[in-house]
Structures are given as C-alpha cells and as structure tokens.
C-alpha cells in the first residue's frame, strides 16, 4: 500500500529481505556470502568499541569511527560496514556515490571492498525518502540505536524471532522497547523497510503527528499509536481516491500538511501563523524568503480547505482549490516610496474639482474579500515583500492595532466623497506574511509595538535547500551526466559555503546580516555545464581537484557573484582592509578544510 515512491526501489527491498533472512534470522552477512558477522559476540565487540565509548570530539564521523573500530579485527569492521549499509538504505538525500564511498572506506580498513555489481551497491543508487540533514548529523546515535536493537534481537529465542519478524505490529512493539527509540529516525525507517505495506515512508515523528492532525476526520485516528492511526487514514484515503497511487509526500496529500520550511526554526510556520495570523520571515538576502512565503500561503489555503470541506470533498475539489490559491494570495512589493496613503487612505481630486478621501490598497482588498460570505470562502494571504524598505509603522497606520483586534471596526479620520465616515476592519481569515532582508534595515530597528504584533522566523543559509535546488536545476538541464556522480562535490560546496558564512558571521567587519544566501551559489550549475562541455567525460573532480581546491565553476561563482556582493558590503573600508578581508574569505570557500 505504501510502496509508491518516485524512485526505483526494487533493489532496496531485495537487500532488506536479505537483511531479514541473513542478519536477523541468522548470524550471516549482508555482503560476504558464507560469512557470519551478525553474531552476538561480534555485536558485543562493536558495542564496546563504539557505543560504550563514544567519541564526542569535533573530528568527522569517519575519522572517529576508524579510531573506534578500525583496529578491532576483520569481523568487527565488516559488521561496521554492513551496519552502515542498513543505515544508508532509506535516505534518498545522500547520493549513491557517497554511500559507496563511506562503506568502501570502512571495508578498506580490513582490505575488503564493495563491488559495483553487488546488490547493495546497486541499491544505493536510489533511496526511499529524505532523512533530512539531521539524519547525517546524528549518525553516531542512529547507528548506536541499531546496534542496541540487534543485540536485544539476538537474545530472543529463534521461534520468537521468526514470529516477530513476520508480524509488523509485533516488530513495532519490539523496536519501541529499545531505549529512546522514539527519538530515532532509524526506528521509522526500519519499520517501513521491513513492512512497507503497513508503515509509511516517513522518518519523522513530527511529520506523522502533523498528518494525523490534518486528516483527523478520517479513520480511527483516536489511537495513541501514530502508525496505526496513519494506517487507518491511508485505508480511508484509498476508498476516497481509488485506483490512484497515494503518498503523503505527493500531491494532493502533501500540500494539506507538509511544511518544507520547518527546519529554519523551531515550530512549523503553518501552525505558528494559524495561531498569530501574521508572521515575518527574515534573514540574509538569497535565502528564499519570498519563495517560502508563497509556499506558506498555499499551505494556509490548502489546510483550511481540508478542514472546511472534509477529506472527501477536498479531493474532489482540487481545481477549485488551485483557483483559490491563485486568486487569494496577494503580494505587495514594498519600497521607500510606498506609504500610508497607498495602503490605507489618501486625498484625491474629486470629479467636481474638490478633494475627497479614497480607500487605499488594504480597504479595497478587504472589500473584495468580503463580497463572499465568511463560511463560503477560503482564507486570503497578503504577502508584504521586503517590508522594512518602507516606514512600516506609518504605512500601517490604524491597521496597526487591528492586526491583533481582528473583526473589530475602527473609524478612520476621513470621509469619502459622499461624506460618509470611512471604516476599517481586518477579517480573521486574512493572513499577513512579511519578508525582510537583514541588510536593508536591522530587525532591532523595527518598532517594538509592531514587533509584538508579528511572530518572527529566521530564514538562514540552508545547505539542504542548496543541494535540493541544485539537483532540480541539474536534472532539468539533461546534461547526460547523472546527478549521483556530481552530488558529493555539491555537498562539499554546501559545507564550504556554511564555513564561509560562519566566518562572515564572526567577522568584526561584517556580521550575521551579511551571510550569503544559498541562491547566490546556484549559478555554479551553469558554470559547471560550460566547464564540462557538451559531452561530459569526467568521472570525478567536478567542482574540486584532488587537493580539495576549487575548480573553475566554483572560482567563477566567487568572482562573479559572491566577491562583488561582499565588496559592496565592505565599501566603507579602505582598500587595504577590504582586500585583506576578501582574500581571507576567499580561502575559506575556495580551499575548504571542512570535514565531510
């Protein structure tokens, strides 16, 4: 039921069945036929070397892992490599080349290697779903969890192992008995991999809770067991949308619950704005704030549609909802000349030659919104783009207090051409999303009373957003070179950009507001295509040479995009100080020492 993904996953399922049969139900091996590395004594050895003696230093995972298990003998090293194979089966946000590289590096400590023709190696070419950036940063804890789980598994009698390995809910009960299982993404991944007809390809507890909340009108969602609740939801959805592959990360389900900007700060922006009605997305230029605002606006409307219509009508009304998204999202590009007179009301010359007050943008928008009764309409969203480029407190005027006192009416100090008093009321289904670049005006300079009326979400540089956007642009070019081959170089670029931003953040000449947004780096795609030519022949070293130094595409991004921007930021300094800072920062990006 839940096996539908955008990737070819047949080989992954074959590896999982080999893991179940050879490693769980026997003490065999995933990679080495005739070997027995998943034995209790070998598991205890790797537990003592890795789990019981954690290395909390700043070195990269692979360096620390080698110190912990690299001298423990061939069987322990082979087990370590196979544990990594299991760890890498699910995530699609780690490329196949990188997966093979890590596993081969570990196997190399014992003189072994993973042949490209091996089933596991071929399965690495795809994944089931994204584990997010956190799955990689928490790798030691996820691996320790897997080791603890299998040690506990091996203590079960063989007949009990066979029973639990064949029953999804018994296996879930066993996994959840492992200490701190609920905090591990691998918990969700293993359940799906071993029982894809009963569990979803969802590696996040928060995602599961959000799905249950969004589809609370379906199935038996009162169960305290999230997985059983989602299983019931899927069963009902399949009745509503028969003969169509359903996946909670695909349209039309995805738009009803998913929030792809949640990693930028604590709390999901959809839940936040539903509470407060207005939010500001702020951060350095180039971090996709306007894009996020548009996506958040769409989610507000789709979430309301699902709530108002119920699941059955929601799925039957997709064209109407698409039209509402197009009509109900309003975007204002603010600038220094935009004023109260544009937004609230202004004096105009009347037809008789006198003067009269006329409504500005907001009252006219509200009048249009309220042409349709409240119960018959979906929410409207007003995006105030680059809101701190104007005098915001003056522009908002009387609207200032109405942001909190929704549905209350106030009288404006003005009368229209007929002499009638002009009134203003903000309906509770008009949401406001502002965007703000930190370099235009410091967030601290915003009126404190105004700040209180908005919630604030930082949108920083996002390495995963850079990788995702780069992949989408690369696949769109159809260059003939598979993304899987160049992804490791782009991950190194993301790490180098993160290191550059750390230096900018800590620089006494710059600071956090001058960090580089990930969109400034995307020109590297075009530069790489030109660098490779119409028939790419390289098998490695696309963005970096063997010494780890930047090749021409990255140098061009620095020279044509990033350096000119930084030069402008540093324009107030004397030439010597400016050039010294630029040279220092160029070395961070072009000759990175960051560990992958």
CATH of the domain at 384: 3.40.50.300
CA 150 to CA 554: how far, in whole Å? Answer: 44
**Residue 2, in any domain of the structure:** no
Query: Is the domain of 487 the same as that of 424?
Result: no
**Per-residue pLDDT of the chain in tens (596 residues, 90 and over written 9):** 566 666 678 999 999 999 999 999 999 999 999 999 999 999 999 999 999 998 888 888 999 999 999 989 999 999 999 999 999 999 988 888 889 999 999 999 999 999 999 999 999 988 998 887 778 889 999 999 999 999 999 999 999 999 999 999 999 999 999 999 988 999 999 999 999 999 999 999 989 988 988 888 776 556 678 999 999 999 888 888 777 788 998 887 887 788 765 443 344 577 778 888 999 998 888 888 998 899 899 989 998 898 888 877 888 888 899 999 999 999 999 998 998 888 887 766 666 666 667 788 998 999 999 999 998 999 999 999 998 888 888 888 878 788 888 878 888 776 666 667 778 889 999 999 999 887 765 445 566 667 778 888 888 888 888 888 898 888 888 777 888 788 888 989 998 999 999 999 999 999 888 999 988 999 999 999 888 877 766 667 889 888 888 999 999 999 999 999 999 999 888 899 999 999 999 999 998 764 44
Query: Is the domain of 323 the same as that of 406?
Result: yes
Residue 32 CB partners (closer than 8 Å, separation 6+) = 78, 112
- Total number of domains constituting the chain: 4
Query: Is the domain of 249 the same as that of 275?
Result: no
Residue 57 CB partners (closer than 8 Å, separation 6+) = 64
Query: Is the domain of 431 the same as that of 301?
Result: yes
Query: Is the domain of 430 the same as that of 575?
Result: no
Encoding tokens for residue 569?
């930021």
CB 116: neighbour CB atoms within 10 A? 9
Cα radius of gyration (the chain): 28
**Residue 1, in any domain of the structure:** no
Strand, coil or helix: what is 416?
coil
Query: Is the domain of 126 the same as that of 230?
Result: no
CA 219 to CA 505: how far, in whole Å? Answer: 49
**Residue 492, in any domain of the structure:** yes
**Residue 196, in any domain of the structure:** yes
Strand, coil or helix: what is 537?
coil
**Residue 532, in any domain of the structure:** yes
Give the pLDDT score at 267. 46
**Residue 5, in any domain of the structure:** no
Strand, coil or helix: what is 432?
strand
The pLDDT tens digits for 467-508 are 888 988 888 887 778 887 888 889 899 989 999 999 999 999
CA 99 to CA 488: how far, in whole Å? Answer: 10
Query: Is the domain of 145 the same as that of 235?
Result: no
Q: In which residue are the tokens 């389900």 written? A: 253
CB contact at 8 A, 69 and 107: no
Query: Is the domain of 128 the same as that of 221?
Result: no
Last residue of a domain, one of 440, 458, 476: 458
Query: Is the domain of 91 the same as that of 128?
Result: yes
CA 202 to CA 495: how far, in whole Å? Answer: 26
Ordered alpha helix ranges (H), 74-138:
74-89, 96-108, 119-123, 132-137
Last residue of a domain, one of 228, 258, 288: 258
Give the pLDDT score at 491. 87
Give the pLDDT score at 476. 82
CB contact at 8 A, 386 and 437: yes
Query: Is the domain of 338 the same as that of 287?
Result: yes
Query: Is the domain of 283 the same as that of 395?
Result: yes
Give the pLDDT score at 237. 87
Last residue of a domain, one of 157, 182, 203: 203
**Residue 293, in any domain of the structure:** yes
> Domain of 120?
10-203
**Residue 186, in any domain of the structure:** yes
CB contact at 8 A, 494 and 463: yes
DSSP-assigned letter for residue 255: H
Backbone angles phi and psi of 117, in degrees to 5:
-85, -10
Query: Is the domain of 236 the same as that of 299?
Result: no
């Amino acid at each position: 039921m839940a096996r539908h993904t955008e990737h070819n996953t047949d080989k992954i399922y074959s590896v999982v069945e080999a893991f179940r049969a050879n490693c769980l139900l026997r003490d065999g091996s995933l990679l080495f036929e005739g070997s027995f590395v998943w034995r209790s004594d070998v598991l205890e050895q790797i537990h003592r070397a890795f789990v019981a003696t954690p290395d909390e230093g700043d070195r990269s995972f692979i360096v620390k892992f080698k110190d912990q298990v690299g001298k423990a003998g061939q069987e322990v090293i082979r087990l370590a490599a196979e544990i990594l194979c299991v760890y890498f089966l699910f995530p699609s946000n780690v490329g196949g080349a990188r997966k093979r590289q890590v596993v081969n590096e570990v196997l190399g400590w014992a003189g072994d290697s993973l042949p490209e023709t091996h089933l596991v190696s071929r399965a690495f070419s795809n994944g089931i779903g994204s584990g997010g950036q956190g799955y990689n940063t928490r790798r030691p804890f996820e691996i320790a969890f897997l080791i603890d789980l299998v040690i506990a598994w091996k203590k079960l009698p063989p007949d009990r192992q066979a029973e639990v390995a064949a029953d999804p809910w018994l296996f879930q009960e066993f996994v959840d008995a492992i200490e701190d299982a609920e905090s591990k993404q691998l918990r969700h991944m293993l359940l799906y991999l071993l029982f894809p007809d009963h569990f979803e390809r969802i590696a996040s507890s928060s995602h599961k809770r959000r799905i249950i909340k969004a589809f609370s009108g379906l199935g038996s969602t009162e169960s305290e067991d999230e997985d059983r609740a989602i299983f019931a939801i899927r069963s009902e959805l399949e009745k509503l949308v028969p003969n169509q592959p359903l996946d909670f990360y695909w349209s039309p389900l995805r738009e009803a619950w998913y929030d792809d900007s949640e990693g930028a700060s604590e709390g999901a922006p959809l839940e936040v704005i539903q509470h407060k009605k207005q939010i500001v997305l702020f951060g350095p230029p180039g971090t996709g704030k306007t894009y996020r605002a548009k996506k958040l606006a769409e989610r507000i409307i789709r979430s309301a549609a699902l709530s108002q219509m119920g699941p059955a009508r929601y799925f039957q009304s997709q064209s109407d909802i698409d039209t509402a998204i197009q009509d109900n999202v309003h975007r204002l590009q603010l600038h220094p000349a935009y004023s109260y007179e544009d937004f609230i009301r202004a004096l105009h010359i009347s037809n008789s030659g006198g003067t009269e007050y006329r409504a500005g943008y907001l009252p006219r928008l509200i009048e249009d919104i309220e042409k349709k009764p409240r119960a018959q309409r979906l929410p409207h969203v007003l995006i105030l783009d680059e809101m701190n480029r104007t005098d915001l407190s003056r522009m908002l005027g009387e609207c200032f207090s109405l942001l909190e006192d929704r549905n209350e009416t106030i009288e404006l100090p003005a009368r229209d051409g007929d002499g009638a008093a002009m009134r203003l009321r903000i309906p509770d289904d008009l949401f406001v999303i502002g965007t703000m670049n930190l370099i235009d005006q410091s967030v601290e300079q915003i009126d404190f009373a105004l700040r209180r009326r908005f919630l604030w979400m930082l949108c920083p540089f996002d390495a995963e957003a850079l990788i995702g956007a780069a992949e989408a642009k690369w696949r769109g070019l159809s260059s003939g070179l598979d993304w899987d081959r160049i992804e490791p170089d782009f991950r190194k670029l993301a790490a180098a950009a993160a290191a550059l931003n750390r230096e900018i953040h800590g620089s006494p000449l710059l600071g956090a507001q001058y960090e580089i947004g990930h969109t400034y780096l995307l020109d590297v795609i075009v530069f790489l295509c030109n660098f490779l030519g119409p028939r790419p022949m390289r098998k490695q070293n696309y963005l970096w040479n063997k010494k780890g130094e930047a090749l021409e595409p990255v140098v061009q991004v620095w020279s044509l995009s990033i350096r000119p921007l930084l030069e402008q930021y540093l324009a107030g300094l004397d030439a010597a100080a400016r050039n010294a800072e630029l040279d220092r920062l160029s070395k961070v990006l072009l000759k990175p020492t960051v560990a992958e």
